[in-house]
Structure 1
């Protein structure tokens, strides 16, 4: 098992310079990396399009990092493992604008998901159904987008891996970075708009 994993890692490392990747068992994908979908340097995606009759469903992978950290590269190997299991689906591994002392996470991060969906739809030239899959903060963003922002009902499914589902839960207040999240997750202007 360890030997196979090491060989796969070596193969992926050497194939990352190429425009295609072969993960075995008819799992061959065309790769496009670091495609910009906005002006911010964090607004980049990697897209993997299967070589064999792609299905119309598109997985969008959303990294964690407390809404203010992380990078799509953290989920590259995870994305490859999903590509092996679903070799006819399109995969997108995305970065998004990060929250900071000067920038709120929302609505920027949900707008980034929307912009990625629009770019992918334009690139593929058909209207796919999207599967949002995120871990940690990315899991929260996946759920929040699907249940709050998906006005056109383009999201088919959401997978939340250890992301908070209820930010009002008393247990979430024990989160190490709760003070930052409380002050910088949602732009107060957004809250005021929804109250009128």
Structure 2
């Protein structure tokens, strides 16, 4: 019984780890599931140097999942590998409000990227620039935000990993969830009002 209790304590303590060591005397403080908005889906994990004013910029990771699925945890190990390569940057790994039958992806998801950036700007007082990195739908959202909604020109670079860049491309119509995308990707009534 004592053996299992000790194992349980180790697991609980391990899950609350506040520092991530990435080697070469580089470590990041970890804050997980921080709310950047009022919706329960608007959460992010933040990995930053102890001295937040010394960062060169912030990588903002945006997960894939066809705009209606997925989770930030899909990119956590990738974020850790990037922390080794870019120890002078902070890393934020975000969730966003997912689309479903009665909720459109856009503008909700692009608004969530704006909210996450606004939240991070308050945490980092040195006016950071951003590198948006997304896979699949997250890659599409990264590009869309950078090229259409980055009014403050905070985005320095975009990395799109297998995300669609042209939704009018004939090959995109072969996407398995194309009918969902056609009906629930963009709420044109809200986009056209902006």
Is the CA contact 1:62–1:132 (under 8 Å) kept in the aligned structure 2?
Answer: yes
TM-fit CA distance, 1:16: 4.1
The answer for the alignment partner of 2:122 in structure 1 is 122
How many Å separate the matches in 2 of 1:37 and 1:192?
26
The answer for the alignment partner of 2:145 in structure 1 is 145
Indicate the SS of the match to 2:41.
coil
The answer for the alignment partner of 2:36 in structure 1 is 37
Stretch deviating more after TM superposition (154-163 or 51-60): 51-60
TM-fit CA distance, 1:126: 2.1
Is the CA contact 2:107–2:191 (under 8 Å) kept in the aligned structure 1?
Answer: no
TM-fit CA distance, 1:124: 1.2
Structure 2, gaps ≥5 residues long: 1-11
Q: Say if 1:191 and 1:37 are closer, same or farther in 2 by CA, change over 3 A.
A: closer
TM-fit CA distance, 1:170: 0.3
TM-fit CA distance, 1:104: 0.3
- CA deviation profile, 1:68-93 (whole Å, cap 9, x unmatched): 00000111001000001101100000
- The TM-score with structure 2 as length reference comes to 0.89
Structure 1, gaps ≥5 residues long: 1-12
The answer for the alignment partner of 1:84 in structure 2 is 84
How many Å separate the matches in 1 of 2:188 and 2:117?
26
Is the CA contact 2:36–2:44 (under 8 Å) kept in the aligned structure 1?
Answer: yes
How many Å separate the matches in 2 of 1:54 and 1:92?
16
Indicate the SS of the match to 2:23.
coil
- CA deviation profile, 1:19-67 (whole Å, cap 9, x unmatched): 1110111220000000001121110000001246732310000000000
Indicate the SS of the match to 2:166.
coil
The answer for the alignment partner of 1:72 in structure 2 is 72
How many Å separate the matches in 2 of 1:151 and 1:44?
23
- The TM-score with structure 1 as length reference comes to 0.88
The answer for the alignment partner of 1:10 in structure 2 is none
